[in-house]
Amino acid sequence: MSTPQPRLLVAGPVELLHVNVDRKAGATFLRVPRLAGALPDCRSGAPLIWDGESDLFVRQDESVCVAVRHNARVSWHARQVPAGLTQGTQHASLR
């Protein structure tokens, strides 16, 4: 990424497993509502307190955007959420 404007990272439903970005880039994550038939407006997102390393469930009606202060390479790993598991999903960790 080479812009301070937030950009779409993923659209739900998805389980975002982690995001790789240089800490010096000062990545900020935003949770954005998704309206049917429209692209998410990342500028209207609410700040998301997330470390980028733990699992994050993104509901069907939302998206996650990312903004960086400095040019940075951003990569992520996510997996689809099976139909019917969009509510009540729980996560456990050994951390």
The answer as to whether 2 is a domain residue is: no
pLDDT in tens, 74-84: 999 999 987 66
The answer as to whether 90 is a domain residue is: no
The answer as to whether 40 is a domain residue is: yes
The answer as to whether 54 is a domain residue is: yes
> Which H, E and C letters describe 27-89, residue by residue?
CEEEEEECCCCCCCCHHHCEEECCCCCCCEEECCCEEEEEECCCCCCCEEEEEECCCCCCCCC
The answer as to whether 85 is a domain residue is: no
Domain residues for 22? 7-80
Number of domains present in the structure of the chain: 1
Which pLDDT value is given to residue 2? 77
The answer as to whether 44 is a domain residue is: yes
The answer as to whether 87 is a domain residue is: no
The answer as to whether 70 is a domain residue is: yes
Q: What is the reported pTM?
A: 0.81
Tell whether the model's pLDDT for residue 4 goes beyond 70: yes
Residue matched to tokens 């996560």:
91
What mean pLDDT value characterizes the chain?
A: 85
